[in-house]
Structure 1
Amino acid sequence: MAKRLWVERNDDGSWDAYSDEGAHLKFGHEDGLFNPGDLMKIALAACGALSSQFAIENTLGKGKGAKIVVSGTYDDDDDAYTSFDEQLEVDASGAELSDQDVDKLKERIKRHIAKSCTVKHTYEQATPVRMDVNIRK
């Protein structure tokens, strides 16, 4: 069964996202909150981070990871992002990697993300969204 997620509006105008498993995230359009476009970019970065984690930890040690910065090109006319750009940075200082080791790690990271990043796979294709609106009275 798929994980159930939902959002609810707060009295202050912000929103909370929840999961059945107890996860929680606050978002909205106010300062200091992530907006939905930000959440799209965060999802892409988070997917890359989790997908690359094994390759990085296997090479650099437990607890090591990447910093992923995502930007997007936004089209006002279509109210949509037309592309995303990811910059994945791994701090391997102190690991004494050779140039060959660095190249191998880059390729492993790319392969892991290509294999298991569902968000990237989804964004790279046209993804239909079905919406039903139900109003209780």
Structure 2
Amino acid sequence: MSTRIWVERAADGSWEGHSDEGAVVTFGKGEGLFSPGDLLKIALAGCAATSSQFAVEHTLGEGKGAKVVVSAQYDAEDDAFLSFDEQVSVDASDAELSQEDADKLADRVKRHIDKACTIKHTLIRETPVRMSVTVRQ
């Protein structure tokens, strides 16, 4: 079951995203705020990071994780992202892994992300968005 998410305008003009579980994220337009497009890239990066967590911790120890950087190619004319580039980096410098073990870890990380990242799965396919608008009087 999906968590219910909603957004509301804040008094300062920014927007706040809320979940039934109490999470809050501030976004909007302007300095110091994530845009909705940024949040999409964060969702993709966060999904890769959490999907790869088990593989990284299993090899490097509890509390270790990947750094995931996402950039996107944007088409201003169509107001749409054309593609995303995801760079997953694991700092294993303290572990003194052999090249073979580093390659195995990289492969496991990729497989975990490919298997478990819902955001990546969603973005790869064409996903319909149904919208309704209600004006209360």
Over the matched positions of the two proteins, sequence identity in percent amounts to 64
Q: Give runs of aligned pairs for residues 84-95 of structure 1, distance below 5 A.
A: 84-95=84-95
TM-score (norm: length of structure 1):
0.98
Give, as a single letter, the amino acid of the residue that structure 2 aligns with 1:127.
T
Tell me which residue corresponds to 2:10: 10
Q: How does 1:99-110 map to 2 (within 5 A)?
A: 99-110=99-110
| Structure 1 partner of 2:58 | 58
Give the counterpart letter for 1:32 in structure 2.
G
Residues in 1 aligned to 2:134 and 2:31: alpha-carbon distance in whole angstroms? 31
Within a 5 Å distance, the mapping from 1:1-137 to structure 2 comes to 1-137=1-137
SS at structure 2 position matched to 1:47: helix
Q: Is the partner of 1:56 in helix, strand or coil?
A: helix
Q: 1:76-114: per-residue Cα shift (whole Å, max 9, x none)?
A: 111000000011111101101001100100110010001
| Cα displacement (A) at 1:13 | 1.1
For residue 125 of structure 1, report the CA deviation from its aligned partner.
0.8
* Paired residue type of 1:34: F
Encode CA deviations 1:20-78: one digit per residue, 9 max, x unaligned. Answer: 00101000001100000100100000000000000000000000001111000000111
Distance 2:132 2:13 in 1: 23
Letter in 1 for 2:16: D
Q: Tell me by how many angstroms 1:2 deviates.
A: 2.1
Following superposition, the deviation at residue 6 of structure 1 comes to: 0.4
Unmatched segments (≥5 aa) in structure 1: none
Helix, strand or coil: the match of 1:126? coil
Aligned residues: 137
Q: CA deviation at 1:11?
A: 2.1
After TM superposition, the runs of 4+ consecutive aligned structure 1 residues lying more than 2 A away are none
| Deviation string, structure 1 residues 98-135 (Cα, Å, up to 9, x no partner) | 01100100110010001000000011111110001011
Question: Normalising by structure 2, what TM-score?
Answer: 0.98
* DSSP-derived class of the 1:81 partner: strand
